[in-house]
């Protein structure tokens, strides 16, 4: 067993929710087990009241960081407002009637 592999008997191991849009983002919970459920890698955790729940393992620090996220340093060149503006422009252009846009030749 690797030195980084948690001991099954170590009930004090904590797992942090790292998915920035999850309501539990940043909170730590007691790790119970990691397993495949219906083809999805999930971690099972206890909350502060001892209630068992699970999350996709990729949403926690139980897995290595995604190299794409690491390299991108969580930056995005587009803002939500800009993307919504582009979507609105595309919708407007699609709703306009199609015109005959044949090219006119310029005669010398």
Please count the structural domains in the chain: 1
Mind listing the pLDDT tens digit for each residue in 30-59?
Answer: 999 999 998 999 999 999 999 999 999 999
The C-alpha atoms of residue 58 and residue 65 are separated, in whole angstroms, by 8
Q: What tokens appear for 9 in the block?
A: 């008997």
- For 57, which DSSP code? G
Structural domain harbouring 56: 14-95
Tell me, yes or no, whether 6 lies in a domain: no
Give the CATH number for residue 26: 2.30.30
Tell me, yes or no, whether 4 lies in a domain: no
Tell me, yes or no, whether 7 lies in a domain: no
Tell me, yes or no, whether 100 lies in a domain: no
Cβ pair 61, 24 in contact under 8 A: no
Tell me, yes or no, whether 68 lies in a domain: yes
Tell me, yes or no, whether 44 lies in a domain: yes
18's CB contacts (< 8 A; 6+ apart) are: 25, 59, 60, 61
**pTM of the entire predicted model:** 0.54
Tell me, yes or no, whether 57 lies in a domain: yes
Tell me, yes or no, whether 66 lies in a domain: yes
Residues of the chain with pLDDT below 50 are 1-4
């Amino acid at each position: 067993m690797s030195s980084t592999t948690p001991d099954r008997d170590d009930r004090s191991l904590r797992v942090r929710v790292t998915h920035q849009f999850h309501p539990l983002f940043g909170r730590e919970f007691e790790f119970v087990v990691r397993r495949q459920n219906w083809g999805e890698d999930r971690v099972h955790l206890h909350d502060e009241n001892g209630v068992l729940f699970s999350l996709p393992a990729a949403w926690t620090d139980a897995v290595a960081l995604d190299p794409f996220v690491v390299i991108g340093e969580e930056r995005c060149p587009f803002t939500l407002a800009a993307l919504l503006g582009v979507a609105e422009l595309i919708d407007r252009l699609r709703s306009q009637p199609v015109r005959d846009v044949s090219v006119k030749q310029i005669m010398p």
